[in-house]
Amino acid sequence: MAVFTDEYLDAFLENQDRLFDEPVAGTREEAEAFLEDCMAEVVDSLDDVREYLEELGMDVCDMSDEELLDASEVFELPDGRYLIVDA
């Protein structure tokens, strides 16, 4: 299970509109509960993002790094890591 730092939770709260029409969380506690419920993951690199999404059955082999970053379920984190929300 991923560890969600305050920095990661804030990044999700600020950018959750990428994935959802309406906010799913308003506080860090709500964000953490939501991310835990949907089994979100934090990975170290775009290669890891690609591998994770492939394991979910997504066809990402022809996607560029920019296209991966534009995917609504991928959130770039302040420390250079990536949050993947499979909602």
In a domain, 28, yes or no: yes
Is the model's pLDDT at 29 over the cut of 90? yes
Say whether 41 sits in a helix, a strand or coil. strand
Q: Which pTM value belongs to this model? A: 0.91
In a domain, 1, yes or no: no
The count of structural domains within the chain is: 1
In a domain, 57, yes or no: yes
In a domain, 78, yes or no: yes
Range of the domain at 53: 6-84
Judge contact between 52 and 60, C-beta under 8 A: no
Sign (positive or negative) of CA dihedral 40, 87, 54, 56: positive
Average of per-residue pLDDT across 51-62: 92
Task: Give the helix/strand (H/E) hosting 74.
Answer: strand 74-76
According to the model, what pLDDT value does residue 68 have?
Answer: 93
